[in-house]
A = this chain, B = another copy of it.
Amino acid sequence: MQVDSKAIDKFLVELLTEVGTRLREDSIKKMSVATKKNRNDLVTNFDKKTEQFINGEIKQAYPDATIVSEEGYGDLVKDMSGLVFFVDPIDGTMNFVKRGDNFASMIAAYIDGEPLNGAIIDVMDNEIYHGGKEIGLFINDRKIDNPKNLPLVEGLVDVSAPMALANKFAVQDVIKKSSGFRVYGSAGIIFGHLLTGKEVMYMSYLAPWDLAAGRVMCEAAGMSVVSIDDAPINMLESQVVIVGTQKVVSEALKTLKTR
């Protein structure tokens, strides 16, 4: 199947620009809702309507593509053949609800199972990380260099809170060998940190739509994206994933206890 990565990139950037505008408006509306229950209902509603909007735009531009998405408006995808889009309308929902910052919207395109394009918008900062192996990586219009291949001792690591606090897989041994531990609570935001070298590793249990865009871009930036048992990533299932510089992921895999 022939696809034009540059055209998809342009499409994704325009789409996420519009999504960003809508979500910033939603974030302001949300603040005026008094009760917690009403606020939660409203956010669920924002999440669903954002996904419906994104999926609708994809279907219009790429009618033959299939869509894997969080809120249930996608397709029932059983294999990765052809052009497949992954959609996470609001990533970091708790940050959206409680903080009003550090949340993202993410879309990725894969072709016959291969990572092609990724795009993540840091909604409140209005910065779109986008690109892929063929076209390079950008923040908005600015091309970015690959981050340095730093070792664990030289960088900050972000591990999902439940995993870190429970010391699953002895992950605290990895954290202790690093420069320090951070928890930002949104995969999309953390992928931005990895792409700009602010952090050197992220480890979490991720659904396909949590991982898809970040995987495309981190691999394009020369980083490693592996499942914890070092098996190939399965884009149709959730799994524990380690993303980081090649040096850090190699060190982490040696340190983690997976059985």
Residues of A within 8 A of B (CB): 36, 94-95, 97-101, 154-156, 161, 164-165, 167, 172, 175, 179-185, 193, 198-199
Known A-B contacts: A94-B156, A182-B183. Give 6 more (CB < 8 A).
A98-B154, A156-B185, A161-B181, A165-B167, A165-B172, A165-B175
SS of A interface (majority): mixed
Report the 3 A-B pairs with minimum CB-CB distance, sorted nearest first: A161-B181, A183-B183, A99-B198
Q: How far is the CA of A97 from the CA of B154 in the complex (A)?
A: 10
- Could you write out 29 A-B pairs with CB less than 8 Å apart? A36-B154, A94-B156, A94-B179, A94-B180, A95-B156, A97-B179, A98-B154, A98-B155, A98-B180, A99-B156, A99-B193, A99-B198, A99-B199, A100-B198, A101-B198, A156-B185, A161-B175, A161-B180, A161-B181, A164-B164, A165-B165, A165-B167, A165-B172, A165-B181, A180-B185, A181-B183, A182-B183, A182-B184, A182-B185
Q: How far is the CB of A164 from chain B (nearest CB, A)?
A: 6
When C-beta atoms are compared, the residue in chain B nearest to A158 turns out to be B183
Q: Contacts of A184 on B, CB cut-off 8 Å? A: 182
Partner of A198, one of B98, B154, B165: B98
Q: How far is the CA of A253 from the CA of B156 in the complex (A)?
A: 31
Q: How far is the CA of A231 from the CA of B95 in the complex (A)?
A: 33
Q: Contacts of A98 on B, CB cut-off 8 Å? A: 154-156, 179-180, 198-199
Q: Contacts of A172 on B, CB cut-off 8 Å? A: 165
Q: Contacts of A94 on B, CB cut-off 8 Å? A: 156, 179-180
